[in-house]
Homo-oligomer: A and B are copies of this chain.
Amino acid sequence: MTEPSARPTRAQQRRQSEARILTAAREIFAELGYDRTTIRAVASAAGVDAGLVMHYFGSKDLLFARAVEVPADELPAGTSGEVAEALLTSLGRRLTGEPTASLAVLRSVLTNADAADRYRAAAEPQLNQLTEAIPTPDADLRASLLSAIVHGVIAERYLLRLTHLADASPEQIIDLLRPCFQSLTTPPPE
């Protein structure tokens, strides 16, 4: 009785609204962190009602989980040198433009305990992959340090906004960091 294929309005409109809400949520979570972000603000930014957000996502926690779930880009395995370079280009990608997704995670991970747990679990496989590419007994610590450096640079650039770091080009940063990454991915010549 309904139009056969005129306007696939129902499910499609819902997914459209959901998408708008998620985009708005990512931006506001990135800007304000978990606590200061309100459902009302997200709804208002998405042009919908606050009750609708609750109806779609159930709770603020679930909305946050959906907003920050991230594909976790693969970094190809290889020799330790190759992995270092892959990490650097991955960092470069995250230093270009506005990495709202990364920022939402980063800012919220540091305030929301559940977010920290979720993130640790999500980052583990990537960390293991990195560990296996490093041919030293302390590979796991080295991998963690690399992760710490990447996050430190992103946080200080976008969250703390240290001027010299915020103004520098990704290439400049990567070039300065290359020796660091190499020393951490390859054992000392001895």
Contact = CB atoms under 8 A, between A and B. Distances in A.
Interface string A153-184: 10111011110110010001100110110011
Contact of A35 (B36, B127, B141, B149): B36
Interface in A117-153: 119-120, 127, 138, 140-145, 147-153
A179 B142 CA distance: 13
Interface residues of A, number: 46
Contacts of A143: 164
A156 B142 CA distance: 13
A109 interface: yes
Given A148-B153, A149-B148, A149-B149, A172 B111 contact: no
Contacts of A140: 164
Given A148-B162, A149-B149, A176-B145, A107 B116 contact: no
A144 B164 CA distance: 7
5 contacts: A127-B162, A141-B172, A144-B164, A179-B188, A180-B184
Given A33-B35, A106-B110, 10 more contacts: A36-B111, A107-B110, A109-B159, A110-B110, A110-B155, A144-B156, A144-B165, A149-B152, A180-B180, A180-B183
For the complex of A and B, list the 10 residue pairs with the smallest distance between their C-beta atoms, beginning with the closest.
Answer: A152-B152, A179-B183, A148-B156, A180-B180, A35-B35, A144-B165, A148-B152, A140-B164, A33-B111, A144-B164
